[in-house]
Homo-oligomer: A and B are copies of this chain.
Amino acid sequence: MQITARGRYAVMAMADLAGCVCPPEECCRAVRLTEIAERQGISLTFLEQIFCRLRQAGLVSAVRGPGGGYRLARPAAEIPIIEILRGAGEPIRTTRCNPDGGPCMKAPPGRLVGGPEREPGERCQTHDLWAALGREIERFLASVTLADVIGERLAGPEAAAA
């Protein structure tokens, strides 16, 4: 169980972007991807892929042409981390159920993954466990915003416990 680079990069880049706005006005200038890529040490083309998705998810807005770049679509305090991960295409998948209510743990075509074919609605014995784990993770990631990350409000082991 681990986070992919795409998800991490997305959050790193968003944090970078959020840190770039001049504090008084929220929208002083757009930030070029080249800058972010350089500062964070991420491949530019990969970052373009990621921001393409983040824009489609409505988390950032883009400005083309010279002097263009990206800005946050909302204040950092209103962007929960879970949205960044979802936007970047890094879903939290703790179960293997089809999202549309298909059979639990149904195997991908031609492959045996996760047990015998089950009737739709039938659940394996561990289903509730993974579902509960998924809820835990999402709850946490929804409770932390981009502003928390750049403000370093995560130090203690009990951060964001509310």
Chain A: residues with CB nearer than 8 A to chain B?
A: 1-5, 7-8, 11-12, 15-16, 19, 40-43, 81, 85, 90-94, 96, 112-116, 124-126, 128-133, 135-137, 140-141, 144, 149-150, 152, 154-155, 157, 159-160
Contact A3 to B5, CB < 8 A, known contacts A12-B124, A135-B157, A136-B136: no
- Cross-chain contact A159 with B137 (CB below 8 angstroms): no
Complex contacts, A125 vs chain B, CB 8 Å: 12, 15-16, 19, 149-150
Query: Which of B85, B112, B114, B128 is in CB contact (< 8 Å) with A154?
Result: B128
Known: A8-B130, A129-B154. A112 touches B1 (CB 8 A): no
Shortest beta-carbon distance from A122 to chain B in Å: 12
Of B1, B12, B16, B154, which one neighbours A2 at CB under 8 angstroms? B1
Most chain B CB neighbours (cut-off 10 Å) among A4, A41, A131: A41
Measured CA separation A19–B93 after assembly (Å): 26
- B residues near A152, Cβ cutoff 8 Å: 128
In the complex the two chains form, is A149's CB within 8 Å of B126's CB?
yes
